[in-house]
Amino acid sequence: MSEEQASEAVAPILDAVRQAVAEAAPLEIVGAGTKRGIGRPVDATGRLDLTGLTGIDLYEPAELVLRAGAGTPLAEIEAAAAANRQQLSFEPPDFGPLYGGEAGRQTIGGVIACNLAGPRRVQAGAARDHFLGVDAVSGRGEVFKAGGRVVKNVTGYDLCKLLAGSHGTLAVMTRITVKVLPAPEKIRTVMVLGLSDEAAGAAMRAAMGSPYEVSGAAHLPTAIAGESPVDMVRDAGGAVTLIRVEGPGPSVEARAESLHAMLAEFGGTEELHSSRSMALWRHLRDAAVFAAETARPLWRVSLPPSTGAGFAARVAAAGPLRHCFDWAGGLVWLELPDEGDRAKASLVRAAAAEAGGHALLMRASPDLRAEAPAFHPPSLGRAALSARIKEAFDPCGILNPGRMYPKG
Amino acid sequence: MQMPEPDRSVQDRAPEILRGLREILAGEAVIAGETELRAYECDGLTAYKALPMAVVLPSTTAEVAAVLRFCRSQGVKVVPRGAGTSLSGGTLPLVDGIILGLGKFKEILDVDFENRCAVVQPGVTNLAISQAVEHEGFYYAPDPSSQIACSIGGNVAENAGGVHCLKYGVTTNNLLGVEFVTMEGEVLRIGGKALDAEGYDLLGIVTGSEGLLGVITEVTVRLLRKPETARAVLIGFPSNEQAGDCVAKVIGAGIIPGGMEMMDKLAIRATEDFVHAGYPLDVEALLIVELDGPKAEVDYLIEKVTDIASACGAVYSRTSETEAERLTFWAGRKAAFPAIGRISPDYLCMDGTIPRHRLPEVLTRMAELSEKHGLRVANVFHAGDGNLHPLILYDANAPEELEKAEDFGADILRLCVEVGGVLTGEHGVGVEKRDLMPAMFSEEDLKQQQRVKCAFDPDGLLNPGKVFPLLHRCAELGRMHIHRGRMPFPDLPRF
């Protein structure tokens, strides 16, 4: 790639990293800082703020690519894409309010670094699947790039994949290239009413296995449905299972109709049109129902979809909780009443592992995040390999030390 | 092609190494006779050949681990191999190394429709996965042209693509987990049936690592429900510019077709003569656009696409009315490589990707290069994602033609990078594009990639000589001179 990132933008970042290396003074890497509550508390003496790295420097809608400084507000990118009837199809969630912050402040760098995706994950993939290229500064104080600015590329190792979800522990990303895709013309949501977690799981999996190109499958048990911002969900008077279809008008109508017919065997069905659907899925995407009580521990558990309901039941048997399902049962949100019962963390973790998945302690006090710990503990082999990868990028351990694991 | 200097001390110990391998594996699983070894001397990139010291064919993960542990202890290089269909020389043998073939890993272990995934061994062919699940209406999406033969393990190693990847993604977007064995003989399981993996994305880095990081022994793939219908339309244009413009406008209209392929005049004529797919011969460029999905959507979008095409100056348009007709449209495109093989004794297939709007300029300059090198070039093109497959026609028996063809190919790939593209969209770097890597990456970029290699394989024994033009020793790559309080970068401008 001949188009280097402007050196006056990168130089201060490079300088700060090199200085941190020289002084053995670890840095906390932050964009807007909306997700600082994810992971273990960082053991850093300084802070490297990337919010100065702003601006979309390349956007070619017909090529489906957009490139921007890592500190560019996601809202700016989403607005630019929307003006061309495009979008980031992995549906990046906004978790700012889960930690008591404002909505709408996060940066593209933060979204990619945490590899966060919303309900469309089941169809379109995660953030990492839309992350095409990167310019970065390693913990060695060296500028490097990986990937490219075209949608199809297998040249060299896919370092973008490693950086997505590395929570700033491997390199400081300074510029990011992502894939943008057409935004759907129309959205409809088919609701199935009154299902148990178990039955809802079966309904969601049936919908996902259908040829109707479902782009979201979630289940809200009674208590959660009752707090929905969308009247038809709130007033349903029980649990609500939600199946979303998106696309060109005639296609969406035909598919919604087919889904009604298919899902009738599970329970009564209703339908939400575009504006209600948008509000509903945005609320789900952001796990906004858990933003009211920010002191309560919150878990985000990724599992084989068919095990979701059983997993939730197992944790529920040990005491009260609030929970809901996304990704057709493959993502379970669990909110516990308080941190009093420390053994609960091990229970969540053990139940997740047994189901073939893993649990992220998404929100808790710094003490509990260090102790539990926040990220699912890796196997010995994985831990050793991950430590060597950390060393390959950041041999002095100056980038977000401790964020993911005690030593990395 | 310069390969790493063979290690004489290893070659001298060949009998001893063979004995060691035979202690791990039963008789016929270790191949060392010259005639039998010939079958493994090259892969899909037939221009390069070498005879390995031995070929081993383990049947279990434990055997793979034992072979790797043994080779590491003996300093023996290992080249993993699936079906050997690599087009970039990814499994070119080393004379001081062994080939570790995964051909005996042929089981489909688990098909899980509830969770829409399948767990398979790496030697299962790409197509066999789709065939094993089609009775329930499912399939595995990435479809490289070699899908009858290529193995899923090789697909993972190369991050294989196919004609449908604009809409459905390449291999890396369709995997949930792998089991792989490191050069140390350690077995690691990454991911599983959950969508998101934990920790660093090791699955993401191993995918497309071209056999340099580990040996894949099990793969969990995502399954998709087959689209209700698919229809294709053939569209002919009087110029490449107009065809390129049409592709941009289709995507600009918010349509992501299941497949969108382009062929130039030479490719159209060669395939039509070979397959008789009914392609128009009086056009400069031909597009095949396939729409798939619910019937209502396909009918609606086909009309939109044909409208866009006429507005772009299409002079020919034909929409498939039956499944047989749709398959005939594709038969030509899918036979494009062998069709070129009929009009030229040999051809080299290139694989660069470009930002699509640079296509007219790239084609013009490619024609100039064709003139300069005195060799013909035909173009087939995954138009939707900008992945070019220029086929350079040459005759390996004519003196220096291979070298000329390679020079021509290198010029094309440098051109791709110059306009903002990349060296390879889906075939991998291997040995073929290895020495061009500096056209795209700086020394620092390549060193950072190699440091990742060192994290997996510190002795550099797994598939060396591929991907990286210059091999650095890991100790050298890791070195950093830092003393507390003293700047390691004295020439740094201060702010």
Name residue, tokens 């070699």. B146
Min CA distance, B157 vs chain A (Å)? 11
Residue of A nearest to B492 (CA): A15
Whether the pLDDT of residue B83 is over 50: the answer is: yes
B418-435 average pLDDT score: 96
Q: Do A248 and B456 touch (CB under 8 A)?
A: no
Residues of B within 8 A of A48 (CB-CB) are: none
Q: Which residue of A has its CA nearest to B228?
A: A211
In this complex, do B452 and A162 lie within 8 Å of one another by their Cβ atoms? yes
Residue A269 per-residue DSSP state: E
> How many helices (H) and strands (E) would you count in chain A?
14, 17
pLDDT per residue over A108-133, tens digit each? 999 999 999 999 999 999 999 999 99
Tell me, what's the pLDDT at B471?
Answer: 77
Residue with tokens 């990847």: B165
Higher-pLDDT residue of A108 and B336 is A108
Quick: pLDDT tens for A319-371. 999 999 999 999 999 999 999 888 899 999 999 999 999 999 999 999 999 99
- C-alpha distance from residue B104 to each of B100, B133, B443 (Å): 11, 21, 39
CA-to-CA distance for B77 and B71, rounded, in angstroms? 7
User: Where do we find the tokens 């009093």?
Assistant: A340
* Nearest residue in B to A253, CA atom: B296
At A30 the pLDDT is 96
Residue from the list B188, B201, B248 with its beta carbon closest to the beta carbon of A162: B201
Cβ neighbours of A385 in B, within 8 Å: 182, 188, 202, 455-456
What's the Cα-to-Cα distance from B203 to each of A89, A155, B130, B199, B318, rounded to whole Å? 21, 17, 22, 10, 42
**Average confidence (pLDDT) over B297-311:** 96
How many percent of chain A have pLDDT more than 90? 95
- Under 8 Å between Cβ of B210 and B95: no
CB contact under 8 A, A1 and B420: yes
User: How many Å lie between the alpha carbon of B194 and the closest alpha carbon of chain A?
Assistant: 4
DSSP B226: P
Calculate what percentage of chain B has a pLDDT beyond 90: 88
B-chain residues near A210 (CB < 8 A): 225
Q: Is the dihedral of CA A395, B156, A108, A294 positive or negative?
A: negative
Q: What is the pTM of this model?
A: 0.96
**What's the confidence (pLDDT) of residue A264?**
97
pLDDT at residue B489 in the model: 55
Inter-chain residue contact A18 with B489, CB threshold 8 Å: yes
Q: How confident is the model at residue A1 (pLDDT cuts 50, 70, 90)?
A: very low
What string of DSSP letters covers A67-96? EEETTSBHHHHHHHHHHTTEE-TT-----G
- Tell me how long chain A is: 408
**CA torsion, points B47, B48, B49, B52, in degrees to nearest 10?**
-150
Residue B486 predicted with pLDDT over 80: no
Nearest-by-Cβ selection for A162 from B193, B205, B494: B205
Q: What is the pLDDT of residue A340?
A: 85
Chains A and B: how many Cβ contacts under 8 Å?
304
Q: Please, is A147 exposed, middle or buried when counting C-beta atoms within 10 Å of its C-beta (0-12, 13-18, 19+)? A: buried
Burial of residue B173 (number of CB atoms within 10 Å: 0-12, 13-18, 19+) = buried
* B477 to chain A: closest CA residue: A392
Map residue A284 onto helix, strand or coil.
helix
To the nearest whole angstrom, how far is the Cα of A55 from the nearest Cα of chain B?
20
pLDDT (average), residues B324-346: 92
Say how far apart CA A59 and CA A81 lie, in whole Å.
Answer: 9
**To the nearest whole percent, how much of chain B has pLDDT over 70?**
97
Q: What is the pLDDT of residue B488?
A: 55
What's the pLDDT score for residue B406?
Answer: 94
Average pLDDT over residues B478-489: 61
B360, pLDDT greater than 90:
no
Q: Which of B294, B428, B454 sits opposite A154 (nearest CB)?
A: B428
Supply the Cα-derived Rg of chain A in whole angstroms. 21
Question: Taking CB atoms and an 8 Å limit, are A158 and B172 in contact across chains?
Answer: yes
Contacts of B387 in chain A (CB under 8 A): 152
Mean pLDDT of A189-214: 97
Q: Is the pLDDT of residue B493 over 50?
A: no
* pLDDT tens by residue, B30-80: 999 999 999 999 999 988 999 999 999 999 999 999 999 999 999 999 999
C-beta separation of A138 from A205 below 8 A: no
- Phi and psi, residue B236, nearest 5°: -105, 140
Lowest mean pLDDT among A149-153, B44-48, B401-405: B44-48
In this predicted structure, the answer to whether residue A298 has a pLDDT above a threshold of 70 is yes
With 0-12 / 13-18 / 19 or more C-beta atoms within 10 angstroms meaning exposed / middle / buried, residue A60 is middle
Distance from C-alpha of A149 to C-alpha of A66, rounded to nearest angstrom = 8
Residues of A in contact with B256 (CB under 8 A): 181-182
Cβ atoms B185, B65 nearer than 8 A: yes
In this prediction, residue B495 has a pLDDT band, given cuts at 50, 70 and 90, of very low
> Which of A118-122, A221-225, B206-210, B381-385 is predicted least confidently?
B381-385
* Yes or no, beta carbons of B205 and A159 under 8 Å apart: yes
